[in-house]
Chain A
Amino acid sequence: MKVVLLKYNAGNVQSVLYALERIGVDAVVTDDHDEIRSADRVLFPGVGEALSAMQSLQEKNLDKLIPELKQPVLGICVGLQLLCAHSEERDTKGLGVFDVKVKRFSNRPNLKVPQIGWNAIYGLQSALFKDVKENSYIYYVHSYYAELCPWTIARSEYGMEYSASLHKDNFYGVQFHTEKSADAGEQILRNFINITDRK
């Protein structure tokens, strides 16, 4: 199986590579369109700021390529956010795979932003969460979130409920850092690699 990680200015590529290595998966990091198109799985990591990430994708024409991909694609953190229609972070237009808005957590007492730490995921649907228990803890670091929508396949609560994970056709997204989420995170990565149907 050929697994690729998109090469652009995302910060957590190395961490995702190591997490894949821990579950026995070799992956290559590339921005070559042919190589990406021919891969069996595409991971779209992301850490940092949405607009500069989007600009980096545009420089490599990856913004055109990604929505056309046919194999399973997994967006992680900012990767998920960029798969959405729009982000409030510097008014960034997204790739529009998921027709949903990405908003900023509003500061209020007892709600620190960014959300940093381990929170529970629940309402788990799809093969992405096979053998992952309801209310498993996973690691989040983020100030922006995708609202609940018809493509939500896992939820978390931080001041209100939001999409922990999204799925539409061959596209998946996780807002949490599955590559840093201990055993639960590794199971989710393993599930993504093993996904056969698209339900």
Chain B
Amino acid sequence: MLTKRIIPCLDIKDGRTVKGTNFVDLRDAGDPVELGALYAKQGADELVFLDITATVEKRKTLADLAKRIARNVNIPFTVGGGVSSVEDASVLLNSGADKVSINTAAFKNPGLISELATAFGNQFVVLAIDTKKEEDGEWYVYLNGGRTKTPMRCLDWAKKGVEAGAGEILLTSMNNDGTRAGFAIDITKQLSDSLPVPVIASGGGGTMQHFVDVFQNAGADAALAASIFHFKEIDIPDLKKYLEQNNIRVRN
């Protein structure tokens, strides 16, 4: 049986790990490759590296980082942040990345999803969606790291993305991100029930029980978190034991 996945996320700026709270403050949490290898050893199932560097050299830096990760880490990893063309993705794939995540660029040019899926297969394309629940009770898509609101509803965009060829959805709830009050169960469940591809839940994981909840009540295929792992508030081996005790299949 396929297991549920635990995915530490490493936000990268200028080659260093950072993590924002509600996408604003940045804290330094070390060397991404060293940290990634440590997580792999502890039993993380996958890693996500999101690059938030905004310089012209970033493409080369990111490819170099992907190579270092691929050389030192023996589990799969996804690279995201500023991938906006087949060429960008190709460089990362050839550096050893298993998947790329695309967000704003895909929203602005949905053709990018199908181009990537055709060139490299659906499994290579992770559609990252930042979403926020507004006062009308609906979840809307946000772009540019949560700074730009769109009138598109989250579920509609996710469905379009999967139709275009996305092999996986990385769903971040902005309402929950940084709160450590639990994942957004309702929107995660909506997507998970409606989509034929795996859904990675992100934003809000603060306790081990939150992970149980997102797997059991929202049907997530994977759960992603950052600072709680970076600052050792939750230890991955403990988390996996806890999930097992709650009858959730995990790799051990």
User: What's the tally of chain B residues with a CB closer than 8 Å to chain A?
Assistant: 36
A157→B1 contact, CB < 8 A: yes
- 8 A Cβ contacts from A67-91 to B: none
Which of chain B's residues has its CB closest to A118's CB? B251
Secondary structure at chain A's binding surface: helix, strand, loop or mixed? mixed
Q: Given the complex of chains A and B, what is the CA–CA distance between A135 and B95 in angstroms?
A: 31
Q: Which residues of A contact B121 (CB under 8 A)?
A: 11, 47-49
User: What's the tally of chain A residues with a CB closer than 8 Å to chain B?
Assistant: 37
Q: Number of contacts between A and B (CB, 8 Å)?
A: 98
Q: Which residues of A contact B205 (CB under 8 A)?
A: none
Q: Within 8 Å of chain A (Cβ to Cβ): is B206?
A: no
B74→A186 contact, CB < 8 A: yes
* Contact A49/B118 with A143-B123, A157-B1, A182-B40 known, Cβ cut-off 8 Å: yes
For residue B137, give the distance in angstroms from its CB to the closest CB of chain A: 26
* Contact A119/B95 with A113-B197, A180-B76, A186-B74 known, Cβ cut-off 8 Å: no
B98→A119 contact, CB < 8 A: no
Which of chain B's residues has its CB closest to A139's CB? B76
Secondary structure at chain B's binding surface: helix, strand, loop or mixed? loop
B71→A182 contact, CB < 8 A: no
Q: Which residues of B contact A137 (CB under 8 A)?
A: 3, 251-252
- 8 A Cβ contacts from B170-197 to A: 195-197
As a 0/1 sequence over residues 114 to 126 of chain A, the CB contacts with chain B under 8 angstroms (1 = contact) are 1111111000000
B197→A112 contact, CB < 8 A: yes
Q: Given the complex of chains A and B, what is the CA–CA distance between A21 and B70 in angstroms?
A: 11
Tell which of A113, A118, A120 touches B196, judged by Cβ atoms closer than 8 Å.
Answer: A113
**Residues of chain A whose beta carbon lies under 8 Å from any beta carbon of chain B:** 11-15, 18-19, 21-22, 47-49, 107, 112-120, 137, 139-143, 157-158, 177, 180-183, 185-186
| Additional pairs, 11, CB under 8 Å, beyond known A114-B167, A182-B74 | A11-B93, A11-B94, A11-B121, A14-B67, A15-B70, A18-B96, A47-B121, A49-B118, A112-B197, A114-B122, A143-B123
